[in-house]
Amino acid sequence: MKSREGHLVELVDDTGRVLGEATVAAAHQAPGRLHRAFSVLLVDPDGRVLLQQRAPVKTRFPLRWANSCCGHPLPGESLAEAANRRLTEELGAGPVSLTEVGVYLYYAEDPTTGRVEFEYDHVLRADVPTGLTLLPDPDEVSELRWADPTRAMAEIDTDPRSYAPWLGGVLSRLLRPTPTGPTADPTLATATAGPTTPPGAHAAGSATPSGRRVDDVSERSGGR
């Protein structure tokens, strides 16, 4: 697995406006620098989502279950290009058509490494056929499974240590899509808006200057 710590990411404000650039390593050093990221969910015709168990060689949250694929677009790279690049690298999948279902703005620390995650995370959905051929990279992925997203949310509540700490927020935006703002990527389709909070969900985090909510989770690490 090639390290991406030296790759550049886009630094943004809490509306997604680009402010500058930093390396992956620098963006995740405490106290953290808000930067653009994406989380992809592959969805089959039955509404199940593909979850990946992170490889044991991962330096952050190894063997935790997470969404299909995550990453950071390079400066100037579209979200569609970046997401399909990482889908190919991690899963041997793509290209796929992507729909943005929401933005996940959050801050968290990994208590073990002290690394900080402060992300403006675009949650992207791709509808894929039954029997999609996947060729996961064993340096990235330990195991794959298809899961009902509502059931997965319940499992996260009962057994959070088996799951990546960002997965709940990503799944909630899949289940209840929200409109994208004026900085939306024109290469992506946009989802129909749904309720802003899933049934039974709790409001989380603190407000940013723009009024967006920041979801605070107890542990999270950079360098995805």
Residues flagged as binding site for Mn(2+): 28, 35, 72, 117, 119
**Is-contact 149 125, C-beta < 8 A?**
no
CA dihedral 162, 166, 167, 170 (to 10 degrees): 170
Residues flagged as binding site for Mg(2+): 90
Q: Which residues neighbour 73 within 8 Å (Cβ) at sequence distance 6 or greater?
A: 9, 10, 36, 38, 79, 81, 82
Residues flagged as binding site: 28, 35, 72, 90, 117, 119
- Among 10, 89, 109, 119, which one carries the catalytic annotation? 119
Active site residue 69: no
- Among 69, 70, 89, 219, which one carries the catalytic annotation? 70
Active site residue 119: yes
What residues are labeled active site? 70, 119
